[in-house]
Each structure stands twice: as structure tokens, then as C-alpha cells.
Structure 1
């Protein structure tokens, strides 16, 4: 392997707008990464996500491929 061509892989902090802070490893050249959403405030992980069935799309898909 060639020496000196790989980026520095270091520990950084990622801070979400909800206040959660995580420790990550990255090749970014900064110590703090500001993010908009994380696992503590994302609707999928918090159980607040809703499945919207517009016009019976799910039923039509299931009928077409699983009948």
C-alpha cells in the first residue's frame, strides 16, 4: 500500500438539533458535525411514523403481485 494517500480517520462528534450528541468516526476534517435528524428524533425510530395508503395502492400492489 502506498503511504500518505489515505485520509485521516478520526473521532468526531455529531450533534442533532434535538440535543442528542453522538461520537462517530469519519474522514471529515472537522471535530463537530451538525445534523438535522438522528435516531432519537426520527419518526421511524420513535414510532410516530404513519403509513399512508393513498387510493388503495398497497392493496393494488398486493393483488397484482401476490394473488
Structure 2
């Protein structure tokens, strides 16, 4: 590796703005903030809602004459 061209790699905290969970990781950036994390994301928690999708499917089937 060449000397002096690589960014500093250090421990930093990622903070979720939705649930305030802090995760410590290694990164070249400092103080990262994310909107959702695996602790509060509906896909990982199993609390997904499919109510809107069902209405869209019915609308599609009605529009294109599928049974």
C-alpha cells in the first residue's frame, strides 16, 4: 500500500433517528445518522402492513379485466 493516500479508519457510532439505537462500527466517516435501522424497520420486525398493496392489486385487476 502507498503511504499517505488512504483515509483514516476509526470506530464510529451510527445513530438511528427513529428509535435512537446506537451501533458501533468501523468507518472513515464520523457520527453517522440513519432514518431506520434493522431494529425498527418493518421488514425485520415483522410488522408490515399490506393494506395498501391489496387495494392496488384489485385496482389493477379491475382495470385490465383479469380475474
TM over 0.5: yes
When the two structures are aligned, how many residues end up with a matched partner? 55
Aligned-CA RMSD value: 1.8
Matches within 5 A, 1:1-67: 1-17=1-17, 18-28=19-29, 30=30, 32-51=31-50, 52-53=53-54, 54-55=56-57
Consecutive unaligned residues in structure 1, runs of 5 or more: 58-67
Consecutive unaligned residues in structure 2, runs of 5 or more: 61-67
**Deviation string, structure 1 residues 29-54 (Cα, Å, up to 9, x no partner):** x2x22211101100000001245354
User: Hey, which of these two has a bigger chunk of helix by percent?
Assistant: 2
